[in-house]
Amino acid sequence: MHRTFEVRRLSRTLAVAPLLFACLALMAGCGDDGIKSGGTPKASVNPRKFVFPKLTIGSRDEKVVKVDSRGAGPLIIASVEADFDAQFQLYWYANNEQTQQHPIVEADGVNRFDRLEIESGDSMTLVLEYKPTTNEAPQGNVRLVTNDGDIDLPIEVEQGRAQILVTPTTLDFGRVGAGQEGIQKTRVTNIGQRTLELSQLLINGSQDFHVRIGDTDAMQSPDVLADPDGDGTPGLAPEASVELTVAFTPDNDGPATGELDIRSNDEVTPSFKVNLKANGASPCIKVSPESREFPPAIVNRTDTRPVTIESCGGEALEIRRIYLKEGSSEAFGLGALPNLPAALPAAEAGQPNPSRNIDVAFTPPDQEAYGGTLVIESNDLATCEDPERPETCVVEVPLVGRGILNECPIPAVAESEFNVLPLDVVDLDGSPSTDPDGTIAKYRWVVVSRPDGSTQEPAEGYQNPRRPQDGHRIDDEATPTAKLFIDLAGDYVIELHVIDNLETEAPSDTCPEPVARVSIHAEPNEDIHVQLVWNTPGDRDQTDNEGSDLDLHVLHPSARLWGEAPLDCYFANASPDWGRRGDPADNPSLDIDDIDGAGPENMNLDDPEDTSMYPNGYNVGVHYFRAENFIGGGTWGPSDATMRIYLGGVLSYEKTRNMRGTDNFWHAAQIRWTAAVREVVDVDRFYQSVPIGL
């Protein structure tokens, strides 16, 4: 749907006389679009597009684009043109006043955007909200018509991303004499799902280092980056790689260090650094975070946060002293320190850097801001002001904190214990929670424990309340209530965290007590309850809308063949009539059929037939219906299927079997149900493909 938002009145931000915007030939020219020219306006837009991650149906996300007025004259936004569907809603606000968001299009379809004048130095922000209603990836565009030209802001929804892997991440050339050449190599691999595009290779530090792809100097001839692996296709396809050759040609015998900076379209790591060193290994210290900022802390209560020291060099790092710099506030303190001096081993390529944590405590005595500096002295010469004076070889970490007068919020739940059936929905209610001196801003439900294979999280609601397994709405933390779909039999523990208006959370290190938990016991009441879950290591997110598909099968005692109705209860025959004709009470039902992840699938049967009247009992099997990854390519790979069978609400069978790929079949067990014997017999037969019969 294409929408154009017309100019309705003058600037919201300034009281400007209407005559200033008239197209007066003697004073200023006007373009065809009615925008006043002159005044050298300049628009600075960041970012240049709205990029959303892939979301599940019913979830929500929003992205912002900031428009700054940087010219000598005001920036005028005359109109906004957008091309997107009803899954999106566009808002704006000025000068970071997020509480004053204005919808550009309201529900009635009427345009609410008027001509906007932004003074130089001021800004406005566009907020685009995305609530997907289909699994298709929509695209669109937002265009700003301004007196600095039209600005297009494309809308993109990712289906995955390029992801860079570089090994090794440290290149040590050892001893290379003046006038000689040393060679080291590192490999760049795309482990993502989209093409990895290398945009630039840079050398920071010593210019005695050079980088090549094959025989081509990649810095002097950057065109080689367009198709670095030479396969005829731009960029690096998923799983493709290219070897980078780094040469070191020193003019003297002194030590040299540098960084190879690899720029790419990996949005998480757009700049990947490879450490370069030559002519003598040396100690290296890395401290994170570079500054330790404490969140607002309650007066006279202690908040402790770590500072991590890493050894990033080719020689052992010696930590000589750790102390608070003179002038630091007494609100800061240090936890237990190691016996100093202490050594951290040298870093090894491809391995995590050796590290040690130092605890910094913050105990504000009053409601005000405090500052300090943590000082770490080491043998890393690169940190020395004067290498001849070891006490100058230091890294300084600024410390910042603020004290607040605030009592802890108190989490509480309306009901702490539930005994339910599998497939029930439990209502979680945190409305009894209180805050003695403020208000509770957020209610966060945390899953502490749940049955193996359960994938459900607390939700605000469900797309179809009668079938909660079909999709949920993400929990709104502003409301005290949530719902939890009980997808498996077993025990669940859900903990409530509350955050007050000053961002103090309870329970937390600052507010450890009390703890409010909800215990849920789910026990089936059917005579037979069969449950299938599976774990596929090749599927990094088994809760999304993509993944392996395993199917549960339960055969009637008189059946001899798998996959044939009406005697096999499975996804294509979910509610067969097995018992008394026309009486659904004694028929089996497949209540959940999961096709894109880890399950579960459940089959329930009340009032089973006496299996002594038949040659077999009820046979239970698993079919690996589909391992292919149609979106990302290849397959999801092997999957571990776990079968659980409950008789009369009691877990009577549990076993796991590895399913290697499409069409593998596992005949897991047989259920015998007679007046005298009610039991599960382990069969455990594995087939490469669906067997013809029992």
Confidence of residue 60 (pLDDT cuts 50, 70, 90): confident
DSSP bridge partners of 67: 45, 124
pLDDT of residue 350: 67
Nearest to 134 by CA among 450, 485, 463, 518: 463
C-alpha 218: how far from chain center: 34
- Residues 85-120 pLDDT 10s: 889 988 888 876 666 678 886 545 566 677 889 998
Rg of the Cα trace of the chain?
A: 32
Q: Residue 24: what pLDDT?
A: 30
pLDDT band at 499 (very low <50, low <70, confident <90, very high): very high
DSSP helix/strand/coil, 391: helix
The rounded distance, in Å, linking the Cα atoms of 569 and 120 is: 70
Which is higher by pLDDT, 13 or 602? 602
For CA atoms 464, 469, 471, 473, give the dihedral sign: positive
Residue 584 pLDDT more than 80? no
| pLDDT tens, position by position, 659-690 | 999 999 999 999 999 988 999 999 999 999 99
pLDDT at site 253 = 47
pLDDT of the residue at 374: 97
Q: Which runs of E-coded beta strand occur in 19-87?
A: 43-46, 50-52, 61-69, 75-83
Q: Does residue 544 register a pLDDT over 80?
A: no
Burial of residue 276, with CB atoms counted within 10 A of its CB: 0-12 exposed, 13-18 middle, 19 or more buried: buried
Give the pLDDT score at 654: 93
**Cα–Cα distance between 285 and 355 in angstroms, integer?**
10
**Is pLDDT at 30 greater than 90 in this prediction?**
no
Q: pLDDT confidence of 558, banded at 50, 70, 90?
A: very high
Residue 521 confidence (pLDDT)? 94
The domains located in the chain, with CATH, are 2-157 (2.60.40.10), 164-278 (2.60.40.10), 285-403 (2.60.40.10), 417-522 (2.60.40.10), 528-687 (2.60.60)
Between 25-39, 204-218, 238-252, 573-587, the lowest mean confidence (pLDDT) is in: 25-39
Q: How far is it, in rounded angstroms, from Cα 6 to Cα 113?
A: 7
Mean of pLDDT values over 390-408 = 92
Assess contact for 90 and 17: CB atoms under 8 A.
no
Q: Which comes out higher in pLDDT, residue 259 or 28? A: 259
Q: How confident is the model at residue 79, as a pLDDT?
A: 87
Beta strand spans in 325-479 (E): 332-334, 342-344, 355-362, 369-378, 394-404, 417-420, 425-429, 440-449, 459-462, 472-474
Residue 246 belongs to what H/E stretch? strand 241-248
Least confident of 312-321, 589-598, 635-644, 670-679: 589-598
Rounded CA separation 13/10 (Å): 9
Q: Which residue has the tokens 């005028």?
A: 76
Say yes or no to pLDDT of 4 above 50: no
Residue 14 has pLDDT above 70, yes or no: no
28-42, 493-507, 590-604: which has the minimum mean pLDDT? 28-42
- With a pLDDT cut of 90, the percent of the chain lying above it is 51
Please give the backbone phi and psi of residue 525, each rounded to the nearest 5 degrees, phi first: -110, 5
Region of poorest pLDDT, from 65-74, 160-169, 277-286, 559-568: 277-286
Q: What is the DSSP string of 559-610?
A: --STT-TTTEEBTTBSS---SSTT-GGGS-EEEE---SSS--EEEEESS---
The rounded distance, in Å, linking the Cα atoms of 372 and 321 is: 17
Residue 156: its pLDDT value, please? 85
Lowest-confidence pick of 82-86, 357-361, 607-611, 651-655: 82-86
CA nearest to 14, candidates 122, 91, 88, 90: 122
The model's pTM: 0.45
Higher confidence at residue 483 or residue 581? 483
Q: Is the pLDDT of residue 293 over 50?
A: yes
Supply the pLDDT for residue 503: 84
Distance CA 554, CA 599 (A): 16
pLDDT on residue 13:
32
Query: Cβ neighbours of residue 249 under 8 Å, at least 6 residues apart?
Result: 176, 179, 180, 181, 182, 208, 210
pLDDT band at 159 (very low <50, low <70, confident <90, very high): low
Instruction: Return the pLDDT at 290.
Output: 92
Q: How confident is the model at residue 296 (pLDDT cuts 50, 70, 90)?
A: confident
Once rounded to an integer, what is the mean pLDDT over residues 325-333?
96
Alpha carbon distance 542, 537 (integer Å) = 9
Interatomic CA distance for residues 70 and 355, integer angstroms: 45
pLDDT at 280 exceeding the cut of 70: no
pLDDT the model gives residue 622: 96
Q: Which of 207, 195, 129 is nearest to 162 (CA)?
A: 195
pLDDT digits (tens, 9 = 90+) for 235-257: 999 889 999 999 999 886 456 88
pLDDT at site 105:
67
Environment class of residue 607 by beta-carbon count within 10 Å: exposed (0-12), middle (13-18) or buried (19+)? middle
264 by DSSP, 3-state: which? strand
pLDDT of residue 586: 79
Q: Give the model's confidence band at 600: pLDDT under 50 very low, under 70 low, under 90 confident, else very high.
A: confident
> Residue 175 has what pLDDT?
56
pLDDT tier for residue 141 given thresholds of 50, 70 and 90? very high
Give the integer Cα–Cα distance in Å for 643 and 505.
40
pLDDT at 32: 45
End-to-end CA distance of the chain: 56
Whole-number pLDDT of residue 33: 46
